[in-house]
């Protein structure tokens, strides 16, 4: 049974204000977990956005009450769940994303939109400098078959560019230029991918 607060009860009130820096210009996204299995009387997600920016929302493991108010060119949307019971963890219980209610929201309509934006970051830098180009050409000079050339380039990348996660600042989404990856001899997945694209 859900605990009933009485005189002298101590209630916990948590408030999270999240202001996001834009990564993809003009867009934002996030996820709100309504609760983590402990009893909660009420959990509310509020998103305040420009009225011209459409918001795409998906709810998991529950259907929150919804309310929206538009004023002064902005929309304030609220999603609310009440009286969330305690969940006792059991052996082999599914993970939280399969059991606990949460809401994902984004101003991006599709992955295609993200792909076009990301391609705009990658393609302009996908060229090799003289040293990297010479090393790749030396590796493929004696091969005429395009598939075999591609395989040799792939082998060079996997043998010579160590995976190192360097997701700091813009590195969380913007690849390192191929020449810098070549000089460092390491990079994360997007750095290696852009180098491979340039080498091919």
Tens of pLDDT along 50-80?
Answer: 999 999 999 999 999 999 999 999 999 999 9
Rounded Cα distance, 75 and 129, in Å: 49
Q: What percent of the chain has pLDDT over 70?
A: 96
The per-residue pLDDT for 81 is: 94
| pLDDT per residue as tens digits for the range 104-127 | 999 999 999 999 999 999 999 999
Rounded Cα distance, 196 and 179, in Å: 11
Residue 125 · residue 75 · CB < 8 Å: no
The per-residue pLDDT for 169 is: 76
Buried b (16+ CB within 10 A) or exposed e, 85-101: eeeeeeeeeeeeeeebb
In DSSP terms, 67 is beta-bridged to: 78
Q: Is it the case that residue 43 has pLDDT exceeding 70?
A: yes
Rounded Cα distance, 160 and 181, in Å: 10
Report the predicted TM-score, pTM, of the whole model to 2 decimal places.
0.70
Q: Is it the case that residue 14 has pLDDT exceeding 80?
A: no
The per-residue pLDDT for 142 is: 95
Rounded Cα distance, 129 and 136, in Å: 11
Q: What is the DSSP letter of 38?
A: S
Range of lowest pLDDT (11-15, 53-57, 177-181): 11-15
Between these two residues, 160 and 170, which has the higher pLDDT value? 160
Buried b (16+ CB within 10 A) or exposed e, 111-133: eeebeebbeeeeeebbebeeebb
Give the end-to-end CA distance of the chain in Å, rounded to a whole number: 63
pLDDT mean across residues, the chain: 89
Residue 186 · residue 164 · CB < 8 Å: yes
Rounded Cα distance, 182 and 52, in Å: 43
The residue to which tokens 């010579």 are assigned: 160
Residue 49 · residue 91 · CB < 8 Å: no
Rounded Cα distance, 46 and 79, in Å: 7
Rounded Cα distance, 156 and 166, in Å: 21
Determine the average pLDDT of the residues in 180-190: 93
Q: Is it the case that residue 10 has pLDDT exceeding 90?
A: no
């Amino acid at each position: 049974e859900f605990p009933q607060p009485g005189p002298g009860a101590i209630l916990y009130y948590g408030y999270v204000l999240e202001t996001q820096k834009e990564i993809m210009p003009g867009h934002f996204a996030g996820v709100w977990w309504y609760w983590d299995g402990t009893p909660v009387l009420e959990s509310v997600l509020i998103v305040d956005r420009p009225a011209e920016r459409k918001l795409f929302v998906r709810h998991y493991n529950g259907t929150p009450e919804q309310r929206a108010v538009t004023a002064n060119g902005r929309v304030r949307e609220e999603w609310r769940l009440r009286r969330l019971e305690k969940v006792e963890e059991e052996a082999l219980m599914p993970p939280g994303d399969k059991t606990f209610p949460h809401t994902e929201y984004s101003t991006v309509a599709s992955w295609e939109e993200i792909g076009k934006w990301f391609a705009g970051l990658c393609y302009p830098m996908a060229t090799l400098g003289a040293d990297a180009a010479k090393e790749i050409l030396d590796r493929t000079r004696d091969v005429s078959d395009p598939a075999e050339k591609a395989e040799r380039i792939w082998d060079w990348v996997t043998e010579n560019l160590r995976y190192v996660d360097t997701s700091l600042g813009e590195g969380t989404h913007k690849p390192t230029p191929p020449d810098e990856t070549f000089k460092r001899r390491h990079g994360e997945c997007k750095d290696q991918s852009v180098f491979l694209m340039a080498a091919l």
